[in-house]
């Protein structure tokens, strides 16, 4: 899967939690939780959704690395998604 395909899955997963989200509003280098206004439970649901869709383990220790859209995409790409 290339980065664009990963980005699409990330966005689709975000849309399940924030259906009003418009992809053009997302800035790839700004904190994702702030842009989408996700509380901790929404964020956990987002990460679980990524796990279910991409079959990738995201250890809790790595959560702090997943700050921006670019960081999430890069992280998932590094996991061989």
- Length of the chain (residues): 81
Q: What radius of gyration, in Å, describes the C-alpha atoms of the chain?
A: 11
Domains of the chain and any CATH numbers: 3-78 (1.10.1200.10)
Bridge partners of residue 68, in order along the sequence: 31
User: What is residue 9's predicted lDDT score, i.e. its pLDDT?
Assistant: 97
**pLDDT for the residue numbered 23:** 87
**Residue 41's pLDDT is what?**
95
Q: How many CB atoms are located within 10 Å of the residue 13 CB?
A: 20
pLDDT in tens, 19-77: 999 989 899 999 999 899 889 999 999 999 999 999 999 999 999 999 999 999 999 99
Specify the long-range contacts of residues 17-25, CB closer than 8 Å, at least 24 apart: 17/42, 17/45, 17/46, 17/49, 18/42
Give the residue from 23, 29, 25 showing the smallest Cα distance to 9. Answer: 23
């Amino acid at each position: 899967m290339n980065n664009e395909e990963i980005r699409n899955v990330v966005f689709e997963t975000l849309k399940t939690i924030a259906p009003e989200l418009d992809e053009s509003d997302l800035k790839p280098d700004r904190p994702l939780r702030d842009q989408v206004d996700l509380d901790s439970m929404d964020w956990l649901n987002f990460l679980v959704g990524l796990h279910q869709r991409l079959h990738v383990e995201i250890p809790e220790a790595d959560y702090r690395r997943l700050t921006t859209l670019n960081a999430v995409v890069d992280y998932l790409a590094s996991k061989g998604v």
